[in-house]
Each structure stands twice: as structure tokens, then as C-alpha cells.
Amino acid sequence: MAAKSIISRPVYGTLSLQPGKHHLFVADAEGALAITDLASKAPAGFFANAHIIFILGNDGKHVAALQALKPAQFYQGHSFANALPRLKQTLANAHMGLRLYLAGTEGLIGQAMQAALEAGIDHTSIQTEHRGSLARRIQCVHCKGITENVTTQPATCSHCGLLLLVRDHYSRRLAAFQGVCINAEDRSEIPPAEEIFR
């Protein structure tokens, strides 16, 4: 679980059943377990109005468990980028009464939420549950490039190569944490990188 530090640092809850006509789940890797946990509390027939978009983890697990819930629609993909057109399309055609549930890594939750905000859903109406890796999506404040799956502090910007202090400062609009040059005064000063976002 992510601890609360500064106000923009997102906090996640536990998926809970919402009243609604349609239920859209977006999850990656171990996020599937948040869905199956929710399913154990769901009334019969709940998944008949559900659509699950699942991004496989490296272990390729959980697909069978999700399919066993018999959702009306099921999609599996290997990256969020692959799933994004489908998510956008689903949101664009959706009506009020659709409820959104996001579960898995912070990167997945953040990027799916970004698509949802663009579609007009308020972030407070979205159910989220963090499962799995704490790896972060970082925006470098200097070159504005995004680096995915950052697990170390500090981290190197994959675009401009600066060494970045990974902050808790988070942007919902960018779905990214902020990275600021850690040795701007003296580039030769290179603090050791620790793997802290696992």
C-alpha cells in the first residue's frame, strides 16, 4: 500500500460494488486478484453487465480466473498502450450508469484514470485498488519526457539522461510523478540509486 505523503500523492482504496447499469474493470497483473475478491461479494449476475480489460503481467497469470467470472466482454492485452484504444472507445460510447473500477499497478491506475477524466468521469467516482508493483511513471520536469516503470531513487530520465529525484508530487492530468534533477549544482555528484519502488 502506498503511504500518504503530500496532498497530490494518490491514495487507493479497496474495490467495492457500486450501483450501476454497466461495470467496466481495467486491471493489470495482480490487479486481477482485486477483481476476484470483489466478485466473491458480488450478487449473482453482476458480471453479466461487466466488461474486463486486463493487461497481463510477466507471469501471464489470472486470465482463467477472470474469464471464469463470465463477464459480458473480456479483453486481454500485453500492454496498456495496446488496450488504450479499446478503453477510449468504450468510454466514448458509454452512458451515465457506467461504473469504473481500476486495479493493479500505479501506472495502470493512473493512465486508465487519465483516459476516464478525459471522458468526463470525476476521479472521485472511480474505484481504485493498488496491487502489485510500486513502479512509477515519471515525468521529467526538464525535458517533459515520460519514463515508465521507474523503481529506483534517483532515476535516470530515459529521454534527456538527467539524474532525477523522484518526488511524490503527482499529476492526474499527466498520470505521472514528478522527477527533478537531483544534482543540478554539480553533475559529478552522483548519489547511489536505491531500488525503493518495487
Partner 1 sequence: MSTGTTKLDVVVSDVVPVNELVTRFHFRRRDGALLPRFSGGAHVVVEMRDGERTRLNPYSLMGSPLDTREYTISVRRDDVGRGGSLFMHRNVRPGMEMVISYPVNLFSLDLRARKHLMLAGGIGITPFMAQTAQLAAEGGNFELHYTCRTASLGTYADVLRERYDRRVRLYHDDRDERIELDRLLSSQPLGTHLYVCGPSGMIGWVRDSAASLGWPTETVHFEHFAAPQPGAPFDVTLGLSGRTIRVGEQQSLLEAIEAAGVDPPYLCRGGVCGQCETNVIAHDGKFIHNDHWLSEEEHRSCKKIMPCVSRFEGRSLVLER
99 or 167: CB nearest partner 1: 99
Q: Shortest Cβ distance from residue 112 to partner 1 (Å)?
A: 14
Q: Which residues contact 82 (CB under 8 A, 6 or more apart)?
A: 55
60 or 97: CB nearest partner 1: 97
User: How far apart (Å, rounded) are the C-alpha atoms in residues 161 and 58?
Assistant: 27
Q: Which residues contact 154 (CB under 8 A, 6 or more apart)?
A: 163, 164, 165, 166, 182, 191, 193
Provide the sign of the torsion angle of the four alpha carbons 118, 95, 50, 40, taken in this order. positive
Supply angle C-alpha 180, 181, 187, rounded to 5: 175
Residues from 51 through 110 that contact partner 1 (CB under 8 A): 91, 94-99
99 or 131: CB nearest partner 1: 99
Question: Residue 60 to residues 26, 73, 103, 139, 170: CA-CA distances in angstroms?
Answer: 16, 19, 16, 28, 29
**Residue count, binding to partner 1 (CB under 8 A):** 18
**Which of 2, 4, 5, 21: binder of partner 1 (CB under 8 A)?**
21
Q: Shortest Cβ distance from residue 3 to partner 1 (Å)?
A: 26
Residues from 112 through 171 that contact partner 1 (CB under 8 A): 119-122, 124-125
User: How far apart (Å, rounded) are the C-alpha atoms in residues 106 and 12?
Assistant: 9
116 or 157: CB nearest partner 1: 116
Q: Shortest Cβ distance from residue 88 to partner 1 (Å)?
A: 12
Which residues make up the interface to partner 1 (CB under 8 A)?
Answer: 18-22, 91, 94-99, 119-122, 124-125
